[in-house]
Amino acid sequence: LKDGLPAAEKCARYMVKDYSLIIKDVAEEDAGNYTIILSIRQWNLSKNLTVTLTVNVKPQIYENAVSSFPDPNLYLLSSKQVLTCTVYGIPPPKITWMWYPCRKKHFKTRHGFCSYTEGSFILKAGSNIGNRIQSITERTAVIEGKNKTASTLIVAEAKSSGIYSCVASNKVGKAERNVSFIVTDVPNGFHISLEKMPIEGENLILSCSANKFLYKDIAWILPRTVNNQTKAKRSLNKEYSITLTLTIKNVSLAHSGTYACRARNIYTGKEVLQKKDVTIRAQEAPALLRHLTDQTVNTSNSAMLECQVRGIPEPQISWFKNHEEIQQEPGIILGPGSRMLFIERVKEEDEGLYQCIATNLKGSVESAAYVTVQGTSERSNLELITLTCTCVAATLFWLLLTLFIRKLKRPYSSEMKTNHYLSIIMDPDEVPLDEQCERLPYDASKWEIARERLKLGKSLGHGAFGKVVQASAFGIKKSPTCRIVAVKMLKEGATASEYKALMTELKILIHIGHHLNIVNLLGACTKNGGPLMVIVEYCKYGNLSNYLKSKRNFFCPNKDSSLPGEQMKEKKDIEPVEGKKQRLASVTSSESFASSGFQEDKSLSDVEEDEEDAGELYKLPLTMEDLISYSFQVARGMEFLSSRKCIHRDLAARNILLSENNVVKICDFGLARDIYKNPDYVRKGDARLPLKWMAPESIFDKIYNTKSDVWSYGVLLWEIFSLGASPYPGVQIDEDFCSRLKEGTRMRAPEQATEEIYQIMLDCWRSNPNDRPRFSELVKKLGDLLQANVQQEGKDYIPLNTVFATESGFPPASDSLCNENFSVTSSSCGSTENIRYINTLKIKPPQRIKTFEELPIKETLIFNDYQADSGMVLPPEELKRFTWTGSKQKRTLFGVKGASRSKESVLSGITKPRSFCSFSCDQLSDSKQRYTYGNAVLEKMKACHSPPPDYNSVILYSQPPV
């Protein structure tokens, strides 16, 4: 059966032989489903098998059914054209468009002028070969029961002549359709043009133009009345056409007749004629169609006179007043062909006799009229005086309005500051650098670096108007070698104010001077011939926030702790105590440039080697010593900046950069801060504010000073000891947040902070700015902690952040030392013998605190550790409802639990930071037990890779912390 019908009955070409079906001369209509049925009638059993026959069909192009090679099609120059090619075949053919350019010379053979021998080109969308191809698209549709594909080629602008070929091919064969594409600048390819119908005595100019790819042998056929000696011919060969111009000078009426142009079609060989009827017009003397009439016009009104004449050729018209010719001037307008005379705002002196004289080759004619002006000049003078007074009054009004606007703007000096995103109220005794920037000098002889000494490299970052790129600098500080630097510059199209902002930052960097823990200035390019570039030190490990996050899985308090795999080398990474002391001395020294964490000037090969070792710091684990060291160095840098009267305003981990040897450097303490695309900043009007890092007086009263930087430093400490977590996690940054912050709510201690570190944070977060420590005091406290940490390493010791002496009365709870899902690994944390818990520094904890854990969290909000550090900001009208109370504290009544926590519960939550090294919990005893473990217990203390938990707690203390 074929498609359900007996096959042998359907076609005589079908033959059934035994179990075979033979089809002779297979054609396309033989395609279909063939079924063979096998049956045993006595058992009433049957089975069938169906196969599908697909007949491959050679591609067919339906446009070729009209003509295998049609006569060339003409396409107007610069026009947009659409070419189509409809194809059918089985399997579906692949369609390719080809381009064959025309030769520049003609050939006698048909189509010879478009020879394939000059080369062919495969076309794609956007191709500019020959003509620009706008697009090539294919669309498949069922037409007449067949699945056909139509390919469309769109020529954006016709400029070149040639042949477009549509080639369809499949495994059976291929078909081709050629489209002659002839570009012409002559309508219809053959045309006669006449500039104007001539007048007796003028010249007759006729032009015959023909497309050069279609026609040849162009010639004029003249009327019998034209004398061959009076004509002139000129041929012009253009890019697309040939023009033959016929010129007959000083024609007469006898030159009227039919002029013909003859050309031979290159394709057909036939002659083609174009005809043009020419009628020579006889000359006529000028004649008046209407005479001028006298007019009476009032003063200040307008008057119009029209001279209506005819003649062949067109008469030339001249106007006269009292026999003096009138020329066009202000107040007197001559219309087209001088046929009209228009007088604006007639005055007494405009009265008189007006004449128009029309002249051509055959003669002249004239007409005259008298214009009388009524009224006196008093009215005109009054109007002039009124107009003058009005202009003077308007000028005075705009002058007064301009002065008033300038006076209003003058008090707002903050608007004149470069990129000053807040109107800042400063303490009277402190004058910040950004207010002195206009007077800061720039010594080009000391800081200017030639642009050819810089080789710009990859981009390190960018913002709304600026970008920072890595560069190789030659000759920094007159050294003949190369050094890797960072270059800060403006983007293309930067405004004058943005240029001024970057220049101001350059001056501030010069004024501040050099320090180990800030990003120091190396030079600048300010001269004409290129963009403004500020060259600073390059910190290859990026900002501290990202670095801490990347080290979460590789944090162990003790540097002797090992990590899985090969992340730590067995012995090379374990420094003796003396070596650590030397490194501490290097970090604390601000005078040694060699220990600054940046390379001295090197050769180019040395720089390449350093780049290969750029990830060396990432191979080492992160220890408690590192966290304290980062905190200490930032305090040192801020101590230096505050001594130079520099207020940072945006102290955060994202603005701390990490260099070699674990040296950190403060950046972005100038004015040109590119903050518009950073989610850490909350929009307030046209400004963006880092609310999570801002002190209450900065949020509510816009007061910025060194004490507000101390508050931000406390938040930075929280970031460091939470290993890069976002401050105030799980808290919506809105009006309630600002209110609670003002009333004394604080964050709880991060998991890695010791009691001493958390006490420093609380000291930085005191409500009264005067109660906060100075940066010099912070340097001393952290220096002591850092020195103690270095001295205790190398002993049988577990760091301070995980242990407490039994004398303190607060043993570590099991939930802070262990993970519930503990898995034994091949690594261990800490030493394996003689482990004791010690606490050399005892600081009294806060007396009373509340946490955000006691508050209900909105179900519609989903928070995680990677939330953007932004939120809502209080609008000005909302901020006015709050008053800053200094150190006076209010108790905040919010949350479900109103009871305060005891000292013991506080310490169990904030003074037992959890290490990322996880220990087995079943070996812990009660708080009165002495904490000494044997080797059997230590076998289970193995895991070092648990990620930091979410920090959702904040602390409210009703009294200043002790």
Reported as a single tens digit per residue, the pLDDT across 426-485 is: 333 445 555 566 677 888 888 999 888 899 999 988 876 789 999 999 888 777 788 999
Q: In this structure, how many other beta carbons lie within 10 angstroms of the beta carbon of residue 34?
A: 18
Strands 363-374 and 295-298: parallel
Least confident of 53-67, 457-471, 494-508, 897-911: 897-911
Q: In one letter, which amino acid is 587?
A: V
Residue type, 138: E
Nearest alpha carbon to residue 522 among 481, 568, 565, 473: 473
Q: Mark the binding-site residues, compressed into ranges.
A: 461-468, 488, 654-655, 668
CA distances from 849 to 367, 745, 747, 843 (A): 110, 9, 10, 16
Mean pLDDT (the chain) is: 73
The DSSP call for residue 24 is S
Q: What distance in Å separates the CA atoms of residue 927 and residue 932, rounded to the nearest whole number?
A: 13
Instruction: Report the pLDDT value the prediction gives residue 104, as an integer from 0 to 100.
Output: 58
Amino acid identity, position 203:
N
749: nearest Cα among 640, 906, 644 = 906
Looking at residue 688, its pLDDT comes to 63
What confidence category does residue 251 fall into, taking pLDDT thresholds of 50, 70 and 90? Answer: confident
Is the link from the previous residue into 432 a cis peptide, with omega within 30 of 0?
Answer: no
pLDDT at 208 > cutoff 90: yes
Name the least confident of 98-112, 369-383, 445-459, 805-819.
Answer: 805-819
Question: Which position has the higher pLDDT, 7 or 195?
Answer: 195
865 pLDDT higher than 90: no
Which residues touch 62 (CB under 8 Å, ≥6 apart)?
86, 87, 88, 148
Give CA 309 to chain center in angstroms: 67
Dump pLDDT digits (tens) for 132-182. 999 999 999 888 778 889 999 999 999 888 889 999 999 989 999 888 888
d(CA 381, CA 145): 90
Which pLDDT does position 575 carry in this prediction? Answer: 42
Q: Is the pLDDT score of 771 beyond 90?
A: yes
| pLDDT higher than 80, residue 105 | no
Contact 134, 156 (CB under 8 A): yes
Instruction: Specify the pairing of strand 340-343 against strand 332-334.
Output: antiparallel
Q: 326-335, 403-412, 500-509: lowest mean pLDDT where?
A: 403-412
Please tell me the distance from the alpha carbon of residue 64 to that of residue 68, in angstroms, as a whole number: 5
Kindly state the tokens that stand for 284.
């006529």
- Pair type for strands 133-143 and 324-325: unpaired
Query: Tens digits of per-residue pLDDT, 733-768?
Result: 888 888 888 888 888 899 899 999 999 999 999 999
Are 163 and 181 a contacting pair, CB within 8 Å?
yes
Q: Which residue shows structure tokens 């605190």?
A: 849
Residues for the chain: how many in total?
A: 962
Q: What share of the chain is helix, strand, coil (3-state, %, to 5)?
A: 25, 30, 45
The b-or-e profile of 114-137 (16+ CB within 10 A means b, else e) is beeeeeeeebeeebeebbebbebe
pLDDT value at residue 489:
92
**What class, spelled out in words, does domain 187-278 have in CATH?**
mainly beta
Task: Please state the CATH superfamily assignment of the domain spanning residues 58-184 in this structure.
Answer: Immunoglobulins (2.60.40.10)
Select which of 626, 650, 674, 763 is catalytic: 650
Q: Which helix (H) or strand (E) holds 511?
A: helix 496-512
Q: What is the second-level CATH architecture of the domain 286-374? A: Sandwich (2.60)
Written as six digits, the tokens of 916 are 């990322």
Binding site residues for Mg(2+), as ranges?
655, 668
Instruction: State the binding site for ATP.
Output: 461-468, 488, 654
Place of tokens 């007949």: 55
Exposed/middle/buried for residue 311 (C-beta within 10 Å: 0-12, 13-18, 19+) = buried
Per-residue tokens: 29: 């209509």
Query: CA dihedral in degrees (816, 820, 826, 828; nearest 10)?
Result: 10
When mean pLDDT is compared across 318-327, 485-494, 814-823, 868-877, the lowest value belongs to 814-823
Element (H, E) at 486: strand 482-490
Q: What is the mean pLDDT of residues 53-61?
A: 89
Per-residue model confidence (pLDDT) at position 770: 94
CA distance 769 to 710: 9
| pLDDT of amino acid 859 | 44
CB under 8 Å to 462, separation ≥6 — which residues? 468, 491, 674
202 CB burial (10 A radius; 0-12, 13-18, 19+): middle
The CATH architecture assigned to 425-545+621-792 reads Orthogonal Bundle (1.10)
Q: How many helices (H) and strands (E) does the chain have?
A: 17, 42
Instruction: Considering the chain, tell me which residue range(s) the CATH 1.10.510.10 domain(s) occupy.
Output: 425-545+621-792
d(CA 140, CA 88): 10
What does the pLDDT look like over 534-549, one tens digit per residue?
999 999 899 999 999 9
pLDDT, greater one: 171 or 239: 171
User: With 0-12 CB in 10 A as exposed, 13-18 as middle and 19+ as buried, what is 493?
Assistant: exposed
Rounded mean pLDDT, 268-283: 88
pLDDT tens readout for residues 928-949:
333 333 333 333 333 333 333 3
**Backbone phi and psi for residue 32, each to the nearest 5 degrees, phi listed first:** 160, -165
pLDDT of residue 434: 54
User: What DSSP designation does 631 have?
Assistant: H
Which tokens go with 544? 């501290």
List of residues 6+ apart from 361 with CB closer than 8 A: 201, 283, 313
CA dist 811 and 820 (Å) reads 19
Q: Which candidate, 721, 708, 710, 718, places its Cα nearest to that of 747?
A: 718
Establish whether 680 is a catalytic residue.
Answer: no
Residue 567's φ and ψ, nearest 5 degrees, are: -70, -30
Three-state helix/strand/coil letters over 259-287: EEEEEEECCCCCEEEEEEEECCECCEEEE
What does 720-774 look like in DSSP terms, one character per residue? Answer: HHTTSPPSSTT---SHHHHHHHHHTEEEPPPTT--HHHHHHHHHHT-SSGGGSPP
Tell me which residue of 212, 274, 204, 277 sits closest to 238, measured CA to CA.
212
Q: What is the pLDDT of residue 230?
A: 61
Confidence of residue 791 (pLDDT cuts 50, 70, 90): low
Instruction: Spell out a b/e string for 447-480, using b for 16 or more CB atoms within 10 Å of the CB, else e.
Output: bebeeebbeeeeebeeeebbbbbbbbbbbbeeee
Q: Which of 464-478, 495-509, 795-809 is the least confident region?
A: 795-809
pTM beyond 0.85, yes or no: no
Looking at per-residue confidence, does 792 or 819 come out higher? 792
List, in sequence order, every residue forming a beta bridge with 90; answer none if it has no partner.
Answer: 57
CATH 2.60.40.10 domain span(s) along the chain:
58-184, 187-278, 286-374
Which is more confidently placed, 670 or 730?
A: 730
Other beta carbons within 10 angstroms of residue 439's beta carbon come to 8
Residues 6+ away with beta carbon under 8 Å from 130:
99, 101, 121, 159, 160, 162
Helix (H, G, I), strand (E, B) or coil at 450: coil
- Lowest-pLDDT range of 72-86, 115-129, 459-473, 600-614: 600-614
> Between 321 and 816, where is the model more confident?
321
647 burial level (CB within 10 Å; 0-12, 13-18, 19+): buried
